[in-house]
Amino acid sequence: MARIHLSEHFSYGKLTCFVFPSIIMMIFTSIYSVVDGLFVSNFVGKTAFAAVNLTAPVSMVLAAAGFMIGTGGSALIGKTLGEGKRDAANRYFSMLIASVVLGGVVLTAVGFAVLRPAVLLLGAEGQLLKDSILYGRIILAAQTFFMLQTTFQSFFVTAEKPTLGLAVTVLSGLTNMALDALFVAVFHWGLAGAAFATAVSQVAGALIPIFYFAVPNDSLLRLTRKTKLYPKVLWSACANGSSEMVSNLASSLVALLYNYQLMRLLGENGVAAYGVIMYAGFIFAAINMGYTIGISPVISFHYGANNRGELKNLFQKSLLLVSGGGIVMFLAAETAARPMARLFVGYDMELLELTVHAAHIFAFAFLLNGVNTFASAFFTALNDGVVSAVLSFLRTFLFEMICILCLPLIWGTDGLWSAMTAAEAASLLVTVYFLLRKRTVYHYA
């Protein structure tokens, strides 16, 4: 297939082809936790499975900085490329990657310090506590590489190399799967084997892009030594990508709160059931996130080029695609609830039925998630980090926190399973408000 450039007019076919690698790339990224959970649950047991789900949000909280710089930086660099300043774009790109490395080292140290207090706060004790600390420490050792991997996912698209980004992520994901099978199922290394498999795959997913961008290539971007600290650029990238950081940070904190409530109401079974549901959620969220990663540099480019006609075209087509995708995801989640639960926890009938019941309630959130996710990323691409951050904060943090704390008081555990749907519905109202209010400012409708 011919290379698609950011400057082109996008039909539905061309748009789908351009964002498809990013979608698959994010799906493979989300599969890390899914594969770990699958092997751990079936070969080690449900206590170790619960440990994976307790500690994973801690790593994601720390990785939020990588998402922030990746999304905010790619929007800024896409705009810079649209203005015809390619040399400046490469200098900014190099500075941002160096910032991720430095930030990753610092956050890894923070992660080691807070891991034990965090899992203790969630109610872990005995073997669950030991398993959580073991898994968490191994994962945190590769934290910097994980942050780099998430950052490069956005920059591959900006560099007009989404397919190469997909290839790197697929290779990394396949490495994770193969090593999980080897370390857990063959060598019987248990929970530590699953953690080592994930860590090795994340190292591979970071080093390959570094080597690619460090040598001469035919993409729009290249790592260069002719860079320095650009405080305004770094601040702009962080501020613009703050919505994505807020989204990932809040999602991880919400997951911790879910786990706390579930430990209190249902014990380890509740955490295990939530883990299975969130694996489906990871994949569906990855589809929406992949679409926004793929489309955002295009939006930023045409915004920088002041091409209002193409901006309208991208906005209208995207709304239709993410809305239709939400319906498909809901139907898929309802249909796959029992087969997926059986795959992960089929060895425990009580846990299986709990998981299926919860999954049917949780599925309604997928109807609305796509539009809300796209709207936040759309404003990031327009370099309006304030509106994007407000949308992300309300959707992924404030509304969900309120629903998680309050709905169980009314409907018990069913209220907890429906909390995300209620939060998405409240967020949609705010999303519609901002889309209507800003349409004359950015001329996308």
Please answer whether residues 236 and 96 qualify as being in contact, where contact means their C-beta atoms are separated by less than 8 angstroms: no
State the Cα–Cα distance between residues 66 and 64, nearest whole angstrom: 5
Amino acid of residue 355 = T
One-letter identity of residue 39 = F
Any idea what DSSP says for residue 160? Answer: T
**Across 57-66, 274-283, 303-312, least confident range:** 57-66
**Vertex 260: Cα angle to 258 and 263 (nearest 5):** 105
Q: Contact at 8 Å (CB) between 313 and 298?
A: no
pLDDT tens column, 266-282: 888 888 888 888 888 88
- pLDDT at residue 243, rounded to an integer: 64
How far CA 285 is from CA of 76, 88, 302, 325, 329, in Å, comes to: 24, 33, 26, 11, 10
The residue type found at 109 is A
Asked which of 79-93, 244-258, 279-293, 371-385 is least confident by mean pLDDT, the reply is 244-258
Structure tokens at 347: 């060895």
Q: Give the pLDDT confidence score for residue 270 in this predicted structure.
A: 87
Contact 100, 134 (CB under 8 A): no
Confidence of residue 2 (pLDDT cuts 50, 70, 90): low
| pLDDT of res. 57 | 77
Q: What are phi and psi of 18, to 5 degrees?
A: -75, -40
Q: At what angle do helices 268-304 and 143-158 cross, to 10 degrees?
A: 30
For 137-157, b/e burial (b = at least 16 CB within 10 A) is bbbbbbbbbbbbbbbbbbbbb
Mean pLDDT, residues 320-349 taken together: 93
Pairwise CA distance, residues 283 & 29, whole Å: 9
Q: Using only C-alpha atoms, what is the Rg of the chain?
A: 21
Q: What is the pLDDT of residues 143-162, one digit of tens each?
A: 999 999 888 988 988 898 88
DSSP letters spanning 291-351: HHHHHHHHHHHHHHTT-HHHHHHHHHHHHHHHHHHHHHHHHHHHHHHHHHHHHHHTT-HHH
Neighbours of 110 (CB within 10 A): 13
Check residue 432 and give its pLDDT.
95
| Whether the Cβ atoms of residue 93 and residue 174 lie closer than 8 Å to each other | no
pLDDT value, residue 246 = 67
Burial 242-278 (b: 16+ CB within 10 A, else e): bbbbbbbbbbbbbbbbbbbbbbeebebbbbbbbbbbb
User: What is the predicted pLDDT for the residue at 305?
Assistant: 87
The contacts of residue 292 (CB under 8 Å, 6+ apart) are 373, 374, 377, 378
pLDDT in tens, 404-435: 999 999 998 999 999 999 999 999 999 999 99
Q: How many CB atoms lie within 10 A of CB 394?
A: 21
Per-residue pLDDT averaged across 202-207, rounded? 94
| CA 28 to each of CA 23, 179, 180, 325, 419: distance values in angstroms, whole numbers, following the listed order | 9, 15, 15, 19, 27
Cβ-contact 166, 105 below 8 angstroms: no
Confidence at 33, pLDDT banded by 50, 70, 90: low
Q: What is the pLDDT of residue 429?
A: 96
Report residue 374's pLDDT band, with 50, 70 and 90 as the boundaries. Answer: very high
Q: For the chain, how many residues are written? A: 445
**89, 6 Cβ separation under 8 angstroms:** no
Question: Would you place residue 368 in the very low, low, confident or very high pLDDT band (cuts 50, 70, 90)?
Answer: very high
CB 33 within 8 A of CB 252: no
